[in-house]
Amino acid sequence: MRVENTADGKTRIQGKAWPAADPEPAEWLIDRIDPIPNKQGSPGIFTDAQYGVYFDNLKVTPNQ
């Protein structure tokens, strides 16, 4: 996942997800614009799943 602030005050979110046995996709699978982003506080991930969610190999780093 990559999150980037845009010049017009919005935030662009791009993401990828794939099975562990497969190679990482070259292209972003999710590409969305948040018109009213929250720009204060620590980074976080929120989920909404009926049976739970598992994250593996998750790192938070600054964009370069």
CB 39 within 8 A of CB 55: no
For 31-44, what is the mean pLDDT?
88
Whether pLDDT at 23 is above 80: yes
Contact yes or no for 1/18 (Cβ under 8 A):
no
- How are strands ordered across the β-sheet holding 30-34? 2-5, 11-15, 30-34
First to last CA, the chain: 14
Task: Calculate mean pLDDT across residues 19-45.
Answer: 90
Q: Domain count of the chain?
A: 1
64: in domain: no
**In a domain? residue 53:** yes
Cα pseudo-dihedral 14, 18, 20, 24, rounded to 10: -60
Please give the single-letter amino acid code of residue 59. K
Q: pTM score > 0.85 for this model?
A: no
pLDDT of 11 over the 90 cut: yes
Which residue range forms the structural domain that includes residue 11? 1-59
